[in-house]
Chains A and B, each alone.
Chain A
């Protein structure tokens, strides 16, 4: 039975405050009624309502009352504790009261926003408030834990977001480990030719940053590497990085590529990943000329020596620095870091899942990423836009929203496709002089200079047809359609179905979470939103933080984003990390568990339950012991202790029982038992 025995503390003097939150709460909950009701509850000294409790005057109201009436418990009924618990705790502390005497009731997200009936909402709010009043009786003063922050930072992903974050932090004098899965950093941006809307060359602005990363004394760049394991908590993470074997000693290789020339394969014959299979490479290769680090690597799946061990190994002979080591194995590095930035990027939608557009069926249907490579001077066609037959197309159709804004695939707008489609339209026209048709649902070009770019394209004579393309087909209805691809679309501005024959089709594929996003999410203990992108702590006010302290996100892993947005977010994440490092320490919630030795029977039930091995068994006293530095405060051991000897701060049994009884005591019909229970509680 949860009865208040005072715990040797002062008799509760509760101050209760209910927030209108403008109309957010007051329009659905009868604030006045709740306030008056609460005033009548035992222990409540002050009960007030106010328009905005979180505002400065609201907080001052609490502080004034604490001083004036000697309040020793504060309950605020307003929004979610995830939003403002911290605000009110600070306010309570400023008035000289221990902040853990404060408790928050969520009557916005849990009541006013989700209830359609004013009376029901008010009743629910009253129940929740009563529970909180009963709960705070049992609150105790607690001391915050402070832990130091390790100033080293791990950044996962070497695309433009990761690169920018790494440079920002490194320039501030902090140590950064940049881990990239591919053999080179640069990410998707390295594959692009030009960037919208300024049409400046992607390589020209990216490669200087890539080499800055390589040469920065504060950055340790581990390409071709993956995080195997991460453990610890904010300020004190420990990560294991797997460095996959390149079969080339990175420190010795200078990227002269003599080995590639010397390979016994005179012709490149394996599909080149960087050019999306549109060109060939040898079993020993460098992803692209500006790859960073400038180190070659072997593909063991295609190298003869790995398959049969019978190669002449001309590559080894060619290397005068003895950098090739075919016996290399994966290396594991263990690092201690204080914070992590995830900038793992995106993948593009697989156009094969939209079979009506014929990707993979008709050779002249390309994805936008393939076209990016094609228009790139260092790409598979040396910058020429060519059909599979090797001819310049006379007409090209660009199909927008492939894998975006589609109930059947991805519902979201990928945000960048309209702009990159415009860019590609411009480049195709520039390279070939072809007629270019854009098929769009809506043109979405918000952004500085973006709408102007759209305008420029219209003046260049690119055609825009509003309508979702029904299919790309090779069946010809008229002579001009023979041997071409025909795009069937309803032109919704004219109101007719059109058939437009073209030589080449470009599918503007949307952006998706990476296939292993959910593994990464699990490893780093963060959440994903429904579509699978990493979930930010708050969509507006904490866009780069996650629900796990010390883990930040930047770039397209959080949602589709163009380059400027990714860079801005990377900067924001870097700033968050630096603010954490500069503070030097971080306060942790004191919600850890501890053992009351006199009740512990030494049964050891709790020990295997703890995922952090925080509980040990003291052989001398035959009692369990919790190392509070290791305890994360989940409370699993507390719930399991058969003798009730484990206590979790902030979530003590008495507090929860208090809440349960507070919720049920007067609710609904008054069944015989609950009446007596209530009385007992009052007597105590």
Chain B
């Protein structure tokens, strides 16, 4: 793909997972307060940040997202007592995995935003869009298709040697990475 073309058209695509009780409500408050922020972040509502499966994050990146934002209640404020802590734990582990895959830390962000912090929704989103715009596209789907090709070749080699059936796909690549 020509480099200039990307720069001209490319806009960061960010998927956000917001918990129903704090951050989603804060996003609603930002709306009611008519705070304007970058349109690049699209929100998926979950009941709790504890529901955010690392697979959601990986799948988002693998499907072409340039960043993922997770919003939960402040520590101690979780509607379900401690779902946000569980998320934090997972997030730290996932960060290591992502780092080893060459995904910059700034692309996946965990933020505590309470129901009254509409302003914070705005600043966090704007900041994140800015940061990722500077980092440029992640382009994981493109990379994965290259891996897929390699895998397919490998499979052919193996198939000719021993007859074992493995089915490579983008999803599995990410999961195993």
Contact = CB atoms under 8 A, between A and B. Distances in A.
B58 to A, nearest CB: 10
Interface in A102-144: 106, 108-111, 113-117, 120-121, 123-124, 127-128, 131
Interface in A624-679: 632-636, 638-640, 648, 651, 653, 656-657, 659-661, 663-665, 667-669, 671-674, 676-677
Interface in A20-75: none
Given A659-B44, A677-B170, A548 B50 contact: no
Contact of A639 (B27, B36, B50, B169): B50
Contact of B13 (A114, A116, A668): A668
Contacts of B1: 669, 671
Interface string A520-557: 00100101111000010000000000011000000000
Contact of A671 (B28, B37, B87, B139): B139
Contacts of A494: none
Contact of B32 (A113, A530, A609): A113
Contacts of A378: none
Contact of A611 (B62, B64, B82): B82
A674 to B, nearest CB: 5
B168 interface: no
A81 interface: yes
Contacts of B60: 660, 664
B116 A131 contact: no
Given A651-B47, A669-B1, A671-B142, A114 B82 contact: no
B63 A636 contact: no
A591 interface: yes
A663 B39 contact: no
Interface string A70-111: 000000000011100000000000000000000000101111
Contacts of A639: 50-54, 86, 90
Contacts of B112: none
Given A80-B28, A522-B77, A636-B51, A528 B10 contact: no
Contact of A635 (B11, B13, B46, B63): B46
Contacts of B13: 663-664, 667-668
A114 B34 contact: yes
A1 interface: yes
B144 A673 contact: yes
A651 B31 contact: no
A449 to B, nearest CB: 33
Interface in B64-120: 64-65, 76-77, 79-83, 86-87, 90, 114-117
Nearest to B21: A547
B145 A669 contact: no
B39 A677 contact: no
B83 to A, nearest CB: 5
A634 B116 contact: no
A: contact size bracket: 35 or more
A124 B31 CA distance: 15
Contacts of B122: 114
A611 B81 contact: yes
Contacts, number: 182
Nearest to A128: B42
Given A113-B31, A668-B9, A673-B142, A120 B39 contact: yes
B9 A660 contact: no
B31 A110 contact: yes
Interface of B: 1, 5-6, 9-11, 13, 15, 20-22, 24-25, 27-28, 30-32, 34-37, 39, 42-48, 50-56, 59-60, 62-65, 76-77, 79-83, 86-87, 90, 114-117, 122, 137, 139-142, 144-145, 169-171
Interface of A: 1, 80-82, 106, 108-111, 113-117, 120-121, 123-124, 127-128, 131, 522, 525, 527-530, 535, 547-548, 591, 609, 611, 632-636, 638-640, 648, 651, 653, 656-657, 659-661, 663-665, 667-669, 671-674, 676-677
26 contacts: A82-B20, A106-B45, A110-B43, A114-B122, A128-B42, A527-B21, A527-B25, A528-B114, A535-B116, A611-B82, A634-B79, A635-B46, A635-B47, A639-B51, A651-B46, A660-B15, A660-B63, A664-B15, A664-B64, A668-B9, A669-B1, A669-B9, A669-B10, A671-B1, A672-B142, A677-B170
Given A591-B47, A671-B141, 15 more contacts: A1-B171, A106-B43, A114-B122, A127-B42, A131-B44, A530-B116, A611-B80, A635-B48, A636-B50, A636-B83, A648-B47, A660-B15, A663-B13, A668-B10, A669-B1
